[in-house]
Chains A and B, each alone.
Chain A
Amino acid sequence: MDVLISAITPLADVWVILYMLLGLLAGVLFGAIPGLNAGIGIALMLPVTYTMDPLTSLVFLTSIYTGGVFGGAITAILINAPGSPSAVATTLDGYPMAVKGQANEALGLSLGASATGGLLGMIFLCVIIQPLAAFALKFGPAETFLLVIFALTSIASLSEGSFLKGIVAGLFGLLLGTIGFSASGSMRFTFGQTYLMDGMPIIPALIGFLALSELFSRLEEDDVELPSAGRLNFGKIVKGMLMVPRRIWAVLRSSVIGIFIGAIPGVGATVGSLISYETARRSSRTPEKFGRGEPDGIIAAESANNASEGGAMATMLALGIPGGAATAILIGALTIQGIVPGPRLVYEHQDVIFGLLAAEMLEQILLLAVGFVVAAAFLRVIYTPYAVLVPVVLAMCYIGAFSVRNAGFDAMLLIGCGALGWLMKREGYPVVAVVIGLMLGKTADAELIRIFQLYGGDFTVFFKSPICLVLILATILSLAAPIWAAYTKRRYSGPDLKGDTGA
């Protein structure tokens, strides 16, 4: 009862609600603008949270996350341009519905499915977080070390493009994470720079690799003129929303897929929504209608991508493992507040965690209103040319990087990481693997040093606990999966594809 009261009490604070609404508004806009996404939105709004208390800060940032995942659907439906990658599956049936003159109903469907999927994801998070944290508390240094290695191999192998590039990106990130003082006091790769003694500054690196690199990528090609979005009709949007309860089983199935896919590091909302869409198509009695404006297609995609937030947050909060760009930046935000994500967080900061869970549920409900307001009133923002948008966003990135320590070094690091991230992205290296490696490198390093101190380099410790064995097996499977996939692809597509250069 005490926990329930402590969870609900912060929601009575008008500032928390105000920041929640602002976060949802900003998130839906960031999600709707093609080229920006929830992760970039969270990165840009980080400096706003520096002086906030931990709960308000987390509520604000998770609102951006929630709004951002839905926001992509608006432009996916209205102009066939998914605002963020997680809305790709929504375009498949959303835009055909718009072409048939049912854009408003499609928007209503996506809004209703997003809110319901997101709510189910949060219910899952509430149920799972304490058992998961209790389980994770049993982890010793060997288990923690292997968990980090599994998270990275999973991200590298499941990322798009070459597996080898994924592994290189992950190794590079891990090495960046070991810069600075080691767990036993040696200095590594600092070149005498005091700014690097505490390690590579996380926030400038995060904003550089995740947000700035995307801006540089956008500038490589000329701006594309977006088609007109047409007029919106409130009554028809509500009619679309009311179609969701009649398809509750489809919502449930898609949400479960989204939650479990979202919990796997490196997979996230995009893959979750695509798998959910394909499952819905295969299990439908009329699969031929999918791709031609089938409401179930929108429900499958939108429920799954919003529900994935619950899964991703569970892995992030209870295990301290970021599953993707948005959760990586959320961990950065927690670190600024002096909170270290991981199993202890759930016990040491119960007020923050349960307050956040209650707030996240409220966010899903408020999303219905905010999503509609943005679609109706702020849609013109998506037509801002990149030539204006990118310099403005870059100035905001600068504020985010510079103001953590008031250090010019951090601003330079931001630009350096942005340029490197851009070069990596255009060649198909998963930049998110660098970021997650950077965040987990210090933990893995410290745990390995502890293993050597405790067991004197006896590596049989890795085979003594069942958790270790499961993690080793999972790592081997995640390493073998892309090799197996490449082998079967080569086998079935003949020898001609062997030298495929992607031309």
Chain B
Amino acid sequence: MERERRGSALIVPVLMLAFACAYGWSNRHVPPGDMHFAWPLTIGLGVLSLVLIGSVLLARLPVGPALTPARLKRPVLLFLCTLILLGFAGYDFPLATTAFLLLAIPLMGYRRWVAVIPVAVVLPVLLYWGFTALGVPLASFWLEG
């Protein structure tokens, strides 16, 4: 378990290190006059990320709970459900949100369909009407006009 916790704790410093490397690499052609601030930050982030990785490996830093399948289940499922919103809400917000809620709410563990269906069907339409009335340009091919 301890090993799994340390593994989870490495994710963020590794991501930070990767970001520092990518940032430095992509800006290698930028004139030095524009990088007075960014270069020290990039190097600082890279070095401190390495220090963090070392500290995690040497057990010198407090770490969070391990990313077990049980802990990951609901956040990952929600993340996958958001693909519906990302893919289709630009074409039809109410329909995409209805599909998202119909899938996400039961997957998150609430399966009283008597409550889920009204929430999933009515709320997106209300959100659409409310926000479009306020001038937010949400798309819908069947509610428009």
Contact pick for A184, options B15, B34, B116, B127, CB 8 Å:
B34
Which of A157-165, A346-354, A359-367 touches B?
A157-165
Closest to A185 in B: B34
Chain A positions 434-449 with a Cβ under 8 Å from a chain B Cβ: 444-445, 448-449
Contacts of B105 in A (CB 8 A): 387-388, 391
A187–chain B nearest beta-carbon distance, Å? 8
A394 within 8 A of B: yes
The A/B interface has a contact count, at CB < 8 Å, of 195
B145 within 8 A of A: no
Q: Are B101 and A391 in contact, CB atoms less than 8 angstroms apart?
A: yes
Is the interface on chain B under 10, 10 to 19, 20 to 34, or 35 or more residues?
35 or more
A408 within 8 A of B: yes
Contacts of A386 in B (CB 8 A): 108
* Bound-complex Cα distance A408 to B82 (A): 12
- 0 or 1 for each of B119-145: is its CB under 8 Å from A? (1 = yes): 100011001000100111110000000
* Bound-complex Cα distance A448 to B40 (A): 12
Most chain A CB inside 10 Å of its own CB: which residue of B12, B15, B27, B45: B12
Q: Are A186 and B108 in contact, CB atoms less than 8 angstroms apart?
A: no
Contact residues of B: prevailing secondary structure: helix
Contact pick for B86, options A186, A391, A411, CB 8 Å:
A411
Q: Are B34 and A220 in contact, CB atoms less than 8 angstroms apart?
A: no
Contacts of A444 in B (CB 8 A): 37
Contacts of A448 in B (CB 8 A): 36-37
B12–chain A nearest beta-carbon distance, Å? 5
Q: Are B34 and A164 in contact, CB atoms less than 8 angstroms apart?
A: no
Q: Taking A386-B108, A408-B90, A427-B8 as contacts, is the C-beta distance between A501 and B38 under 8 angstroms?
A: no
Contact pick for B12, options A215, A221, A223, A424, CB 8 Å:
A424
27 pairs across A/B with beta carbons < 8 Å? A47-B136, A50-B135, A51-B134, A51-B136, A175-B38, A188-B34, A188-B38, A189-B27, A215-B78, A222-B109, A387-B109, A390-B104, A391-B100, A391-B101, A391-B105, A392-B101, A395-B97, A395-B123, A411-B90, A415-B79, A429-B12, A449-B33, A449-B37, A452-B33, A501-B59, A501-B61, A501-B62
